[in-house]
Amino acid sequence: MWSGTRSRGCCFRRLPAGSYSPGAGRLCCIIWRARAVNSTRPLCQLRLTPIEKKMNMKQILVLLSICLGVANEGYAQQVPPSLAKAIPLDGIQIDGMLADWPEQMLEYPISNSLTGSVLSRPLSPFSSISSMISVATTPAQPADLTARYRVGYSIQHNVLYVALIVRDDEVVLRPARPTPSNQDLCELFIDADHSGGDKTVGGMGAQQYVMVGGASRYTEKVAEVDNTPGLVTGCTHCSGVQGAVARWGEYTIYEWSIPLWKNFPNERLTIAEGKTIGFDAVISDADGSDGGDWLSWSEGVRFNNSDTFGDVVFVAGYTSEELPRCIALPGELHAHYQERVYLSGLLYPADEQPNEWGGLPLVLRSKEDSARVFETISDAYGRYRVWAPPGQYELYVKGAPESAIALELQGVSVERDFHPSLARISVRSEYPVCATRTDSSGQKVLSKAVCQRAASPFSGKKAGPISKFTFLLPPGSYRFGRGSNLDQQQRVVIPAGTAQEIVEIDIVQSTRTWPSVWLWSVLVLIGLVALPAVISLLRPRGHRE
């Protein structure tokens, strides 16, 4: 005989004490008993109530999800919040080099492993991964991945500064097919006004910022993350966030400058000493073909609920007890700083909108050694950044070496604006659109990462009745479409010399797939429902029960 006590013990025996409620145990008991509805075991032996006897599989799944939610909520509430202290910083330049940061600061380890299936992790963790909870674990191979962060702020600029220091034996990027789980990256979660509760990614109450560890996008779905660094399901250009990533030997540095919002994008939060914000930092480490190992700073965090974030408090400085715990920057970083020159500049002409020039892949290639190649992607403000050894180089748009300009890198930094000759292509479509460049044989030579964000924001798979997409592309032959179906693609040839007087080409494209997918799905379901009745009618009358 199944009892409430026994079922609760079976279902929740691995959870910490107090992480479930009697109501959750009762629901679990009902689920176990209701399983017998579809079994061969007589119901009379289980003493099911009339209501429980009528339960179907859908109701069982709903109750099961409620049980898991109650258990997860109880677990998360037991974990004490993590606490970090942000100190005032001045003269910070966002370039991926930490020479302008204090030599010694308190640093906070990012070492709590995220449970759950990483490979199937959804794009928007705030709204979709309530089942993913971080638990305190120590990485099995610290030499393969160790991560920590330091944090500060500026009253003058009213921004939060964050620097993540990640030691990893290799950097894995997948620019041809980027996803949140198949490459190295970092994510920051911020609830600036500490309002708590469930949040929407890119929404008014809390934000999720992402940055990939090199020249790659966070995802192909540029409608959901338009740039790197980027704001998930929000306007990166409107958020004011700035970030830079640089690789120094075995270290990857992610450097951030983040405006804080009470109500995005309408009301900024003013930083002041003594204030506290909700915060968490996450690192993804992808090794070879394996999926990412996800590590968070806070223990017990659930990213769809900002109540579980850690806390960052703004202080005037460290206490005398905290100063001995400050950690110095790795000495190897300073040695590598002497070997590189910082190159940066703007891509857009004076009469253009800077946000339209975000996400453009660029290549910096040495004239002295053709194997020495560095890649980067322009940010949401049309600015590019790259570190490279001194020497003679050429800079061009990836896949279009004819757009190259020559430059010399020497000294500490070089500022050089680059205005490549690109054509603007406007595509009107009901769905997100990508461009593929082809050569004479029809092979793809530019990845779909060349997509630009739609001029009209949208969410989900559908862009709206008709949305406008903007592409900035060098001369060549292109196909525009959703996928590999050639019937749903349009071909456009951009002739050479189509330069600063940017040409606009408008393509109306409808890529509805409704009857081909949804109609067949409905017909299949109808067939499955009707199949038992058809079989019953076809049986000989003498064999019917």
| Domain limits, the chain | 4-78, 95-333, 340-415, 423-509, 515-543
- Please classify residue 64 by burial: count the beta carbons closer than 10 Å to its beta carbon, then call 0-12 exposed, 13-18 middle and 19+ buried: middle
Which run of H or of E encompasses 328?
A: strand 327-328
C-alpha distances in Å from residue 263, one per residue of 45, 194, 237, 276, 456: 57, 11, 16, 16, 21
Most confident of 60-74, 338-352, 386-400, 464-478: 386-400
Whether the CB-CB separation of 228 and 210 falls below 8 Å is answered with yes
| Residues, the chain | 545
Give dist(CA 341, CA 410) in Å, integer: 6
Separation between Cα atoms, residue 138 and residue 146, nearest integer Å: 10
In the CATH hierarchy, which top-level class contains the domain 95-333? mainly beta
Strands 310-314 and 83-88, sheet pairing: parallel
pLDDT range class, residue 176, cuts 50, 70, 90 = confident
The single-letter code of the amino acid at 258 is: I
Q: DSSP string of 225-239?
A: --SSSEETTS-HHHH
Q: Which tokens belong to 436? A: 């593929």
Paired strand residues for 364: 374, 395
Asked, as a colleague might, if the bond just before 265 is cis with ω within 30 of 0, I would say yes
Most confident of 62-76, 421-435, 479-493: 421-435
Helix (H) or strand (E) holding 110: none
**pLDDT for 435:** 73
Q: Yes or no: say if 480 and 440 are a contact pair by the CB < 8 Å rule.
A: no
- Per-residue pLDDT for 45 more than 50? no
Q: Where are the beta strands (DSSP E) in 132-221?
A: 134-136, 145-154, 159-168, 185-191, 207-212
The pLDDT of residue 250: 93
The architecture (CATH level 2) of 340-415 comes to Sandwich (2.60)
- Across-strand partners of 440? none
C-alpha 134/C-alpha 146 separation (Å) is 16
| Mean of all residue pLDDT scores within the chain | 74
Token duo for residue 352: 């253009």
**Per-residue model confidence (pLDDT) at position 493:** 80
Q: Is residue 487 classed as helix, strand or coil in its secondary structure?
A: helix
Mean pLDDT of 437-454: 44
Contacts of residue 49, Cβ cutoff 8 Å, sequence gap at least 6:
none
What are the tokens at 538?
Answer: 């076809």
Q: Do domains 95-333 and 340-415 have the same CATH topology?
A: yes
Of 254, 282, 237, 296, which Cα lies nearest the Cα of 161? Answer: 254
Nearest CA to 402 out of 343, 474, 478 is that of 474
Q: What angle do CA 528, 532, 536 make, to 5 degrees?
A: 150
Is pTM beyond 0.85? Reply is no
What is the percent of the chain with per-residue pLDDT over 90, rounded to a whole number?
36
Under CATH, which number does the domain 423-509 receive?
2.60.40
Q: Which of 19-23, 163-167, 220-224, 386-390 has the lowest mean pLDDT?
A: 19-23
Instruction: Give CA–CA dist 172/331, Å, rounded.
Output: 24
- Residues 3 and 26: their CA atoms lie apart, in Å, by 9
Q: What is the mean pLDDT of residues 303-309?
A: 76
Residues 105, 153: Cα–Cα separation, whole Å = 13
DSSP assignment letter at 454: B
- Residue 207 forms beta bridges with which residues? 190
262-284 burial string, b = 16+ CB within 10 Å, else e?
A: eebeeeebebeeebebbbbbbbb
Token look-up 């990462």 returns 449
Residue 300: per-residue pLDDT: 66
